[in-house]
Structure 1
Amino acid sequence: MGGRQAVPDPGARGTKGTHRVSYSREQWVETADSLLTAAWRYASPDQAFLDLPGRPSRSGVRSDGLEGYARTFLAAAFRTAHGDDPHNWLERYAAGLAAGTKGEWPEIFDVGQPMVESASVALGLRLTKPWLWDKLPESVQDRTEAWLRGALRHVPAANNWYFFPYTVASFLEAAGRGDDETRQAKRRAMELLHGWYRGDGWYSDGDGRAFDHYNGWALHLYPALDAFLDGKPITTHLKEHLESFHLLFGADGAPVYFGRSLTYRFAAASAIALGAVTGETPLSPGHSRHLIGTTLKYFLDRGALTDGVLSLGWHGPHEASLQPYSGPASPYWASKAFVCLLAGPDHPLWTAQEERQDENRTLALPGPGLLIQRHNGVTRLHNHGSDHVRPFEGEHATEDDPLYSRFAYSTTSGPTSKHNVPDNHISLVIRGDRSVRRRIHPLGARDNWAASWHRPVFDAHQPMVPGLRIESVTAVWDDQELRIHRVIGAPPGTRAELTGWATDLPSPLVGVRGWTGADRRTAPQGTAFTGTASVPTLTADIEGTVTLVAVAVLNGTVADEDWEARTAEILRLTLDGDG
């Protein structure tokens, strides 16, 4: 079909406030079957590997093939978790399990990709236990346990990875094979999770301040789903998380493009679905169904499938959306969205009237240091707290990460690549070296504003300037953004540069105070949303302490307002006051 694959049409029927009904449960099932059918064309003869097309990861082809097996198994498990398996998916995965555990699969080792995949294998086995695990010969069960226990005996990465051995341990306990080792794995993960909590329902992905979609598709999903399957209370602040997280989707279903591993695409909706399944949600069932359905449709309508297979990218293939660990099967963590199928056909998630809520709203999150701005169906996320800098990396690391370092992200634009002009960024240029924003220190968030400070970091040729720092505030009204930056301690010869939104649509950046030059710069590698992007840029020569103010708009025009007066008011409330 020339690249794009036909997907179930959610229909043209409508409810109040929308022109169509998002996917029914039957259509979610059909989508899962379609994805699995396409992926299984690439199965190895013994069915232990699914060697999907695409660039290999740094882990090697055997690990990539295991990833194909494990992540598609997760989709099959959610699809068959009620015992409905007309395509005999579980028979295939049982055969692959028997072959893989005979030594075909790579062993689990410290901070290795097989540890990641062990969690999907274990969760798949737990969800399908009566129909797959319980029917396996004891020898295969023993081999499977031996392979899985490698996750309990090796070191995970110091972040959400601790929930991979946690999930393995949960399955072994559900299968009657728990012991001190499994209990310790679960206890350790939960102890770490509690230490990573930063408030407002948000966890950092490990020590430090890394906030991204891993909150929903990992840090909440694994322990909350485990508690739900065990019939125990959920203790991960999932309901509180969804109070803000549900706003991070556009009216068209697009998630906010921020953080790593975005090739997982509609996995971003898994936390919404999990909340509906478990009841730990502030959202109505009809609103939850609308959100997960429009997110699935958003990607399927925009070329996420190439010949039926999820490609490495965002809409279609997109190299800049990938991480070094991304392999051909990596996108199939999108399978987590099918957690919605744990809700049976009579569940309110599928029977309640669909609700579309597109109200304009601003929400400040002081815990993670984020400010959400939703206007006319587009969500912007203003970042004054998430930096993905590990404590041991120190203040002076010079590597810029566009997925965490920018001041703003949205549901209609992505950051430019690190090799292009940075969007939504303030930099200082001293003797030809341009600074980056690394460690972010939150100063507060309340009502319609958020604030932070950072030390400008230069490359190895330009040492840190003692006392140099930038204090920043973003305040929003309707679709307008007031961006205030106070530069402290700039040496003579410093040039300041501020950039706005990287998009192919009109998105002005207008100087209010301090800026003396304005132009537009091209980002030839574009973003995940457009092939090339034009980035508005303001410049000024500065020295000492100076306050620079601008107004930015995404896909609109700057309102004719007294921005100087607004600047004075927001400074009084934040940097000059009790913020």
Structure 2
Amino acid sequence: MSDPQEVHPAMPELPFPFPADDRTLSPHTGYTRAHWEAAADGLLRAALRYATPGHGLIDLPGPPSQSGVRSDGLEGFARTFLLAALRAAGSEGSDPHSILERYTAGIARGTLTPGRDDAESWPLIGHFPAHGQPMVESASVALGLRLTAPWTWQALPSDAQDRTEEWLRGAFRHQPAPNNWYLFPLTVAGFLESVGRGDAETARAIDRGLDLLEGWYRGQGWYSDGDGRSFDHYNGWALHMYPLLHAHLAGDGALLDRLGPRLHTFLESFSLLFDANGAPLHFGRSLTYRFAAGASVALGALTGHTPLAPGATRRILSGALRHFLDRGALTRDGVLSLGWYGPQAATLQRYSGPGSPYWASKGFLALLLPPDHPVWTAPEEAAPAEGPDRALALPAAGFLIQTTGRDGLVRLHNHGSYSRGADSAPDPLYARLAYSTRTGPTGADNTPDNHIAVEVRGARSYRPRIQPLATGPDWIASSQVPLFPAGGPILPSARIDSLTLVRGRLEVRVHRTVGVPAGTPIHHSGWAVAVPPGTEAETEQGPEIRLAGEEVTGQLLGLHGWRTATAVRAPQGTAYGPWALVPELTGTVGEDPAGTVFVALASLTGEPDPAPLAGLATAEVTGLTVTVRLPDGGGVVVDFGAGEAPTVTEVDVRADR
């Protein structure tokens, strides 16, 4: 396995001082605690250049969010203050550059006349959605104050403390978004109680947040982000982080005992979602927070609720940090850009502003571990994705995780998670059949990757609410009702059942249409691969589509039911390149009222020059039963006619050859 920095040769020089690699202690990444401290210092110095004269706001350059410039300035202040707090608290208050003094002055200035339209005042906390963004930032302000109270809160004059408390209490008195936002008032309440300002209002905020959290827990360590089935990185950097960190800081043993085992279980699967090159999985919203994805990994070590060895914990955390620093996530002046590597609009949401990327500060949670903690002193170990090939089904979330040790690549097959607004429009960051650590979804206006759609009157369906059906050790199945854009066609009683089975790098994808009119065109796409503009797809042995990118090769082959195969241009590109190709198969729904079955074989690999898919697996279809022959001589039978959910049975088909 190559080192993370060897995977991508274009490594920019960092715009701040940085230590040399330590390949003795950290053979995989070269990073130690000193690198984390240097990164925090460099990010802070760069951001603070954009502070207002009284330090009350930090107006980072870039297009404003939907909340407006003043809210964005508060966001820049609050999120970098959290980074400063983690840096100082992890060094027992050491602040050689007087950074905390600047933030303390900024709190006093920002709360002097909140809501006033002047150069420094903070916006008031209001109701979601129109005026709710300051509620998000109140949690970072409160957590930063809680971590640094001896040097910030206690340094504020009593009247400034009173004003700050009053501003923070706005989080209790206004309506949050119906999801992880309820943990922001909980975090504010935890701080106020920690400084002797708790009362019935703070107690209600904590109890309310914890009660809702219980209702969102779906099992196997995974929470839905609100009602429904929305699973993504918010599990780690919000739903686990805020309540468990509150319990840790408060010394609440009962709450730690209740929530801690869930984090332990969560990390058993979540730790697999980091590539050998350090990249976290590219899936879900707010991906511009980047290495904040490691917050729960650090939290597990901090609270003692982790299945990971200390050296593996640091390997994941440092791998993610280095991955983005090496690949241009910083602007030339050291500011985190809005995007994934560099600026990229499709990675963003309407609420993303110039200060938004600094929720990446949560990734520095490990700095709360003392320098002599084993996470910092133990030799780095391999990341979980660098081990043997894995297939891990997570019925609670509707996920199937697939890793391959030879290239360290991670894929997540999504048969259960969708965004809360799923019925209104397709969301590329949730609606796809699969995601990976080296590919990103295509933009909403381009041909979707990893998608199954029927076409009626020239309009293609999208994948809205996803209903999990069944899982096995290396397979997972779901069902969807195909919907069309507003004003488009309606197919009553129609549905598409889908199943993904994985072996090594291979993905067998089986789809069954039900209630779709005969003769309807159907399209299935594979992995979008970033390639230079104008690149043509390679072909291998007939209908296979092969897309060779800089780091990955994507392949797609129709095994049954597909008539044509082609590569479709995606000129909006992905987070991994400004231009991409998408492999696509096209077929036609048949006459059988019980449904039509389609089978494809897909692969995404970082291995050089992978073998053609033709001959690696075959599929024989009889009615609603599919017999798949696999490269090892074994096989599986997928039966869609056995009930509401498909059944999968292992069989020995070698004797039939």
TM-score relative to the length of structure 2? 0.85
Q: Which residue of 1 aligns with 2:647?
A: 577
Note the 1:246-325 alignment, pairs <5 A. 246-306=271-331, 307-325=333-351
1:141 offset after TM fit, Å? 0.5
Q: Distance in 2 between matches of 1:244 and 1:576?
A: 25
Q: Distance in 1 between matches of 2:205 and 2:30?
A: 39
Q: Which residue of 2 aligns with 1:543?
A: 590
8 A Cα contact 1:14 1:20, kept in partner: no
Task: Indicate which of 48, 51, 69 corresponds to 1:40.
Answer: 48
Q: Distance in 2 between matches of 1:14 and 1:551?
A: 42
Q: Deviations over 1:513-562 (max 9, x none)?
A: 10011101010011000111111100012134100000001134444334
Note the 1:454-465 alignment, pairs <5 A. 454-465=480-491
Residue type at the aligned position of 2:577: T
Q: Deviations over 1:85-137 (max 9, x none)?
A: 11111100110011000121100001111000000000000000111111211
Residue type at the aligned position of 2:628: R
1:371 offset after TM fit, Å? 0.3
Q: Deviations over 1:221-278 (max 9, x none)?
A: 0001011111223233111110000000100110110000000011011111111111
Q: Distance in 1 between matches of 2:648 and 2:22?
A: 51
Q: Which residue of 2 aligns with 1:566?
A: 628
Q: Deviations over 1:20-39 (max 9, x none)?
A: 44421122111101000000
1:570 offset after TM fit, Å? 4.4
Note the 1:491-530 alignment, pairs <5 A. 491-503=517-529, 504=531, 505=549, 506-530=553-577
Q: Distance in 1 between matches of 2:502 and 2:88?
A: 46
Q: Which residue of 1 aligns with 2:221?
A: 201
8 A Cα contact 2:443 2:574, kept in partner: yes
SS of residue paired to 1:571: strand
1:7 offset after TM fit, Å? 5.9
1:461 offset after TM fit, Å? 3.4
8 A Cα contact 1:63 1:113, kept in partner: yes
Q: Deviations over 1:253-306 (max 9, x none)?
A: 101100000000110111111111111100001100011001000000000100
Q: Distance in 2 between matches of 1:173 and 1:452?
A: 45
Task: Indicate which of 111, 133, 148 corresponds to 1:101.
Answer: 111
1:482 offset after TM fit, Å? 0.3
Q: Which residue of 1 aligns with 2:624?
A: none
Cα distance change of structure 1 residues 562 and 2 upon mapping to structure 2, 3 Å threshold:
closer
SS of residue paired to 1:543: coil
8 A Cα contact 1:205 1:211, kept in partner: yes
Q: Which residue of 1 aligns with 2:580?
A: 533
Q: Distance in 1 between matches of 2:487 and 2:185?
A: 43
Residue type at the aligned position of 1:11: D
Cα distance change of structure 1 residues 449 and 327 upon mapping to structure 2, 3 Å threshold:
same
Q: Which residue of 1 aligns with 2:64?
A: 56
Q: Which residue of 2 aligns with 1:90?
A: 100
Cα distance change of structure 1 residues 493 and 572 upon mapping to structure 2, 3 Å threshold:
closer
Task: Indicate which of 144, 161, 170 corresponds to 1:150.
Answer: 170
Cα distance change of structure 1 residues 2 and 251 upon mapping to structure 2, 3 Å threshold:
closer
Q: Distance in 1 between matches of 2:391 and 2:585?
A: 26
Structure 1, 189-198 or 231-240: larger mean CA deviation? 231-240
Q: Distance in 2 between matches of 1:215 and 1:7?
A: 33
Note the 1:131-142 alignment, pairs <5 A. 131-142=151-162
Q: Which residue of 2 aligns with 1:366?
A: 395
Residue type at the aligned position of 1:156: P
Q: Which residue of 1 aligns with 2:603?
A: 553
Q: Distance in 2 between matches of 1:195 and 1:266?
A: 28
8 A Cα contact 1:416 1:526, kept in partner: yes
Cα distance change of structure 1 residues 297 and 180 upon mapping to structure 2, 3 Å threshold:
same
1:578 offset after TM fit, Å? 7.6
Q: Distance in 1 between matches of 2:304 and 2:587?
A: 53
Task: Indicate which of 468, 471, 484 corresponds to 1:445.
Answer: 471
Structure 1, 494-503 or 78-87: larger mean CA deviation? 78-87
8 A Cα contact 1:442 1:453, kept in partner: yes
Q: Which residue of 2 aligns with 1:381?
A: 412
Q: Which residue of 2 aligns with 1:480?
A: 506
Structure 1, 377-386 or 462-471: larger mean CA deviation? 462-471
Q: Distance in 1 between matches of 2:562 and 2:432?
A: 20
Residue type at the aligned position of 1:484: V
Q: Distance in 2 between matches of 1:280 and 1:557?
A: 42
**Higher helix proportion:** 1
Q: Distance in 1 between matches of 2:300 and 2:20?
A: 22
8 A Cα contact 1:11 1:20, kept in partner: no
Q: Distance in 2 between matches of 1:425 and 1:20?
A: 35
Q: Distance in 2 between matches of 1:460 and 1:63?
A: 33
SS of residue paired to 2:105: helix
Q: Which residue of 2 aligns with 1:166?
A: 186
1:8 offset after TM fit, Å? 2.5
1:152 offset after TM fit, Å? 0.7
Q: Deviations over 1:497-523 (max 9, x none)?
A: 000000032311100010011101010
Q: Distance in 2 between matches of 1:153 and 1:480?
A: 52
Aligned-residue identity in percent: 55
Q: Distance in 2 between matches of 1:558 and 1:549?
A: 17
Q: Distance in 1 between matches of 2:223 and 2:295?
A: 16
Q: Deviations over 1:164-209 (max 9, x none)?
A: 1010000000010001100110111111111011111000000000
Mapped pair 1:426 → 2:452 = yes
Q: Which residue of 2 aligns with 1:217?
A: 237
Residue type at the aligned position of 1:198: R
1:493 offset after TM fit, Å? 3.4
Cα distance change of structure 1 residues 552 and 14 upon mapping to structure 2, 3 Å threshold:
farther
TM-score relative to the length of structure 1? 0.96
SS of residue paired to 1:309: coil
Q: Distance in 2 between matches of 1:154 and 1:232?
A: 27
Residue type at the aligned position of 1:142: D
Root-mean-square deviation (CA, aligned residues, Å) is 1.8
Q: Deviations over 1:305-357 (max 9, x none)?
A: 00100010000111111100000000000000111000011111111121113
Structure 1, 377-386 or 275-284: larger mean CA deviation? 275-284
8 A Cα contact 1:22 1:290, kept in partner: no
Structure 2: gaps of 5 or more residues: 1-10, 114-120, 532-548, 620-626, 630-634, 650-657
Q: Deviations over 1:1-23 (max 9, x none)?
A: 999635625515247xx844442
8 A Cα contact 1:22 1:294, kept in partner: no
Residue type at the aligned position of 1:577: T
Cα distance change of structure 1 residues 412 and 14 upon mapping to structure 2, 3 Å threshold:
farther
8 A Cα contact 1:385 1:440, kept in partner: yes
Mapped pair 1:68 → 2:76 = yes
8 A Cα contact 2:282 2:436, kept in partner: yes
8 A Cα contact 1:74 1:121, kept in partner: yes
Residue type at the aligned position of 2:271: H
Residue type at the aligned position of 2:647: G
